[in-house]
Structure 1
Amino acid sequence: MNHDSLARGVPHATPGAIVARALTGRLHVDPVEGRTVRFGRNRPNVDLCVGETDLRVSRQHGLLTRRDGHWWVANTGQSPIRLPGTRWLFRDEEAVPLANGYTPLFVRGSRDREHLLELYVADGTAKQLVPQHESVIQPPTRWRLTPDERLLLVALGQRYLLHEANPQPVSRQQVAEVMAELRPDANWSVKRVEHMVAEVRARLSAGGVPGLLREEVGEPVGNTLNDNLLRELMLSTSLVPPDLALLDPLS
């Protein structure tokens, strides 16, 4: 069996074909309208076996179907399937279309196990990725922040920087109080805090970051916009745990 991940690309696949790979094997299916691929625990009765030793995985856990020029994934099992972007697909929900290129699926199993199913929809442009052992690293895009913005966002996102489980942004009132104590030469009202955070969200949104505008997330908004902002700042290393030292004067 080839243990190479499909994330490296599938350079010779027919455009529109889907290549699927699990621990137990790999298959290639041409883009024939109405074609289906079954995956699950019951090796004799599915096209690709996933989680064959795990009783939390259904015997037929999902389907890949070619329809309307796309491949679609549907969950027919008891436990959810995790898609990229923290999206979950549950049984009997509408099938989800797969984008061209690489998509990993994670089938939920027992005792926090997840079983990987790699998918690759060919578009005719894929090239085999090669190792880049000696190449210069491409660092993440770090967003420019003014000193006041950085301090305010550290105060807002301190629970994220502390790696708390299920963190939430600090309240705007608390942030205003922190700013007033650390920057007493300015009037730090709740309104000013809101305005500065909104300016940063707008700037990052204009730079291509999704989920930072009210119209993108729908109602009720709650903390979603600021949660998305803080996660982007963390993932891009624009904010890092050592930034918590900015709050040390409060100790």
Structure 2
Amino acid sequence: MNTESLARDVPRAAPGAVVALAVSGRISVDPVEGRSVRFGRNRPDVEVCVGETDPRVSRQHGLLTRRAGRWWVTNTGRLPIRLPKTRWLFRDEDPVPLPDGYTPLFIRGSHDREHLLELYVAGEDGHHPATRHSAVTQPPKRWRLTPDEHLLLVVLGQRYLLHEANPQPVSRQHAAEILNELQPDAGWGVKRVEHMVADVRARLSAAGVHGLLREEVGEPVGNALNDNLLRELVLSTTLVPPDLALLDPIS
């Protein structure tokens, strides 16, 4: 069984080079401006073969391009490419820059198969970061919220904190009703809920959190913006299950 993975070990490469690994093999490409690397199903016409037995993968499904001192990934195939942090890259969308280090790309094929293309962009020293087995564990970046924002987001995200299988945000109307029960004199209404949540999304988006703006998720938006917000708050431990105690007065 081939257990090679760029997540575990990366060969030394020139600073800025990209290493690409699929089931079919591995290549390393130096950071030459304008250089491109094609990947997809049609082995004779691509540099990295991905999903060669799966007809749902496009013959040329994507492209890595060196431009302006960075590597960029473009989708040229029919199916979207899934990137980390639940981000999707569709055909004809703007290329996405790759950060230094490890990035896995996934293409969903036939019968729920997922084809993996591992990428690694070498940093300034051209090698894998040094191991840090005994280093002090870094705490997650918790986002600063006002007391009112914190209470509102616990109400809005209570299903996430309850570990439901497919949680969704509580509706704005229902959130306002719960908040009015908790704080009868605080003047909670749907508009206040909307504005406060929008302010938090804007603040986190400005700090680099993806998926909190309409143009980043596409139409129809539905609950996507608040879903992405609540997942970020839970993953960063800004909201944690013990926060549900704030709802005890109405339970």
Q: Give how far 1:182 is off.
A: 1.9
Q: Which residue of 1 aligns with 2:118?
A: 118
Partner SS, residue 57 of structure 2: coil
- Identify unmatched segments of 5+ residues in structure 2: none
Instruction: State the Cα deviation string for residues 1-57 of structure 1 (Å, max 9, x = none).
Output: 7824257666x4223432111233211122345543232334455322222443432
Structure 1 gap ranges (5+): none
SS in 2 for 1:247: helix
Contact 1:8-1:130 at 8 Å conserved across structures = no
Going from structure 1 to structure 2, the CA distance change for 1:95 and 1:73 (only over 3 Å counts) comes to: farther
1:99 aligns with 2:83: no
Q: Counterpart of 2:188 in structure 1: which amino acid? A: W
SS at match of 1:152: helix
CA-CA distance at 1:143 after TM superposition: 2.8
Mean CA deviation greater in 119-128 or 178-187: 119-128
CA distance in 2, matches of 1:209, 1:123: 23
Counterpart of 1:87 in structure 2 is: 87
Q: Distance in 1 between matches of 2:192 and 2:5?
A: 52
Task: State the match for 1:229 in structure 2.
Answer: 229
Aligned partner of 2:150 in structure 1 is: 150
- Distance (whole Å) between structure 1 residues aligned to residue 201 and residue 75 of structure 2: 35
Structure 1 counterpart of 2:40: 40
C-alpha distance in 1 between matches for 2:54 and 2:68: 34
Indicate conservation of the 8 Å contact 1:40/1:60, yes or no.
yes
Structure 1 Cα separation of the partners of residues 42 and 216 of structure 2: 40
Q: Structure 1 counterpart of 2:184, which letter?
A: P
Shift of 1:140: 0.8
- What letter corresponds to residue 160 of structure 1 in structure 2? Y
Q: Is contact 2:40-2:46 (8 Å) kept?
A: yes
Q: How far 1:237 sits from its partner (Å)? A: 1.2
> After alignment, is 63-72 or 96-105 more displaced?
63-72
Check whether the contact 2:122–2:128 (CA below 8 A) recurs between aligned residues: no
What amino acid maps onto 2:48 in structure 1? L
Deviation at 1:207, TM superposition (A): 5.2
* Residues 111/237 of structure 1: CA separation in 2 closer, same or farther (3 Å cut): farther
Deviation at 1:117, TM superposition (A): 0.9
1:130 aligns with 2:94: no
- Report SS of the residue matched to 2:63: strand
**CA offset at residue 141 of structure 1?**
1.4
| TM-score normalised to structure 1 length | 0.75
Residue 199 (structure 1) shift = 5.2
RMSD over aligned CA atoms reads 3.7
Measure, in 2, the Cα distance between the counterparts of 1:54 and 1:186: 58
Would the alpha carbon gap of residues 181 and 97 (structure 1) be closer, same or farther in structure 2, given more than 3 Å must change? Answer: closer
Q: Which residue of 2 aligns with 1:23?
A: 23
How many residues align? The count is 249
Residue 153 of structure 1 deviates from its aligned partner by 1.3
TM-score with structure 2 setting the length? 0.75
Matched, 1:5 2:2: no
TM-superposed deviation, 1:204: 4.2
User: 1:156, CA displacement in angstroms?
Assistant: 1.2
